[in-house]
Structure 1
């Protein structure tokens, strides 16, 4: 399964040349560190899905000596591995360019990446190939654009719930959020696995 994870990097050798400039662009443009961590984490896993969608790689993958469970596991575990590497490189770049960021920024970036991945990864197995990456990319841009407005709306209309959340100890709040994100990621993994097991290639 390690070879499946490594395969994504090997296939993206040319795209990876743009990874550092891609991250530096967001940093130089003074993007919020959370957004920088999020887009850095998305780069490799979603490029891998885009490549597989164009090359119809699932036919080849299913001819290799790997089970379908291992193929899905490599996607979800690989995303976590690449997220960790991307955040480490982004943190180093932010530090070298003297841009302030905190552990909380990293935590929020991780949470957003895992949440977005949990919502979108199953789409690559549910919908017809050819349009999924475009749909996911547009969804990401739309969410990035309207996200602040949604937060402000919820803040104005869910005051009792927000007040209750703010009264919770920070440790309990962060633990609950982390468990919710991880639970969503695991559920997404199971959903993708069930769909992929039944899919014909």
Structure 2
């Protein structure tokens, strides 16, 4: 399985370098590190996933001495590695560039929201294809836009205030509950993706 993870890093090292450069630019420009981190974790995880969806790549992977469970597990472990790596880069970047230390609440919020999003995106991509995620995203965006314009005009303000309140909480109990819940969902997503991939025919 470690060989599969290493394969991901070697095949996508150019993407990693480009995204690292863009990440540094965003930090220099003073973009909010929480949202930058969220976007980069999702983009990096799904871009590396998308390259492995080609039929020839899947046939090659399945010809190797790895089970389908190991192939899927390596992808989920890679996601965790990307999440930790980007979090560390954001922490160091904020400290070195702006002299600010990221609050632990913001770090937890970013990582948990990233893992929660990927918990739904990865099984969807295994079941259908990552290209359909773009269509689904556009549909969700259109629905959100309709809700904001027709039903709840101040929805953006509500979300902004809710996130601000959550990040400013001092108690660790709510964060602990959220972490346990998100990790449980991530684990269930992992199992679901394995079952979906094991039933696929290439």
TM-score after normalising by structure 2: 0.79
Q: Tell me, what secondary structure is at the counterpart of 2:65?
A: coil
The alpha-carbon distance between structure 1 residues 144 and 23, as it changes in their structure 2 partners (threshold 3 A), is: farther
Deviating above 4 A after TM superposition, structure 1's stretches of 4 or more consecutive aligned residues are 136-146, 153-156
Q: How many residues matched?
A: 190
SS at match of 1:17: helix
Deviation of 1:105 after TM superposition, in Å, equals 1.3
Q: 1:118, 1:188 within 8 Å by CA — same for their partners in 2?
A: yes
1:3-152 matches, within 5 Å, as: 3-54=3-54, 56-98=56-98, 100=100, 101-127=102-128, 129=129, 131-132=131-132, 134-135=134-135, 138=138, 149=155, 152=158
Cα distance, 1:26–1:65 mapped onto 2, change above 3 Å: same
2: CA distance between counterparts of 1:153 and 1:23? 25
Consecutive unaligned residues of structure 1, counting only runs of 5 or more, are 157-161
Per-residue CA deviations over 1:4-26 (Å, capped at 9, x if unaligned) read: 11111111122122122211232
Question: Partners of 1:126 and 1:36 in 2: how far apart?
Answer: 28
SS in 1 for 2:63: coil
Q: Could you tell me which runs of 5 or more consecutive residues in structure 2 were left unpaired when the two chains were aligned.
A: 149-153
Superposed CA RMSD in Å reads 3.3
Is the 1:23–1:36 contact (alpha carbons within 8 Å) kept by the matching residues of 2? yes
SS for the counterpart of 1:53 is coil
The offset of 1:113, in angstroms, is 0.8
Partners of 1:21 and 1:140 lie apart in 2 by: 30
Does the C-alpha gap of structure 1 residues 135 and 25 become closer, same or farther in structure 2, counting only changes over 3 Å?
Answer: farther
TM-score (ref. length: structure 1):
0.80
Equivalent position SS for 1:31: coil
